[in-house]
């Protein structure tokens, strides 16, 4: 059986991610279903929520819900 798909390899995957990051597609595709979350290096006791419009909100999770901090 012959395949018309390009060969899948780690190098090809990394190259595609780098291309998507450079074009903005990676971020758009990552955030299209909702916000992303990260732990900031300067405040590892908190979580940051990143929305598709680049808004960053610091807070924490409580009972499965993201709760923004009172002060940013």
pLDDT tens digits, 4-61 = 666 778 888 888 888 887 887 777 777 787 898 999 999 899 999 998 888 999 999 9
Determine the structural domain holding residue 62 and report its residue range. Answer: 10-68
Residue 24 tokens read as 């903005």
Give a yes or no: residue 32 inside a domain.
yes
pLDDT above 60 for 1:
no
Give a yes or no: residue 5 inside a domain.
no
Give a yes or no: residue 15 inside a domain.
yes
Give a yes or no: residue 3 inside a domain.
no
Give a yes or no: residue 33 inside a domain.
yes
pLDDT of residue 22: 85
What pTM value is reported for the model?
Answer: 0.60
Strands (E) in the chain, as ranges, are 36-38, 47-50, 56-62, 65-68
Give a yes or no: residue 38 inside a domain.
yes
Give a yes or no: residue 41 inside a domain.
yes
pLDDT above 90 for 67:
yes
The DSSP secondary-structure symbol of 5 reads: S
pLDDT above 60 for 72:
no
Q: How many domains does the chain have?
A: 1
């Amino acid at each position: 059986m012959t395949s018309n798909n390009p060969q899948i390899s780690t190098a090809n995957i990394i190259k595609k991610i780098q291309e998507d990051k450079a074009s903005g597609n990676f971020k758009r595709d990552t955030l299209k279903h909702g916000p992303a979350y990260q732990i900031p290096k300067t405040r590892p006791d908190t979580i940051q929520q990143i929305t598709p419009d680049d808004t960053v909100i610091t807070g924490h999770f409580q009972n499965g819900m993201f709760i923004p901090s009172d002060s940013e």
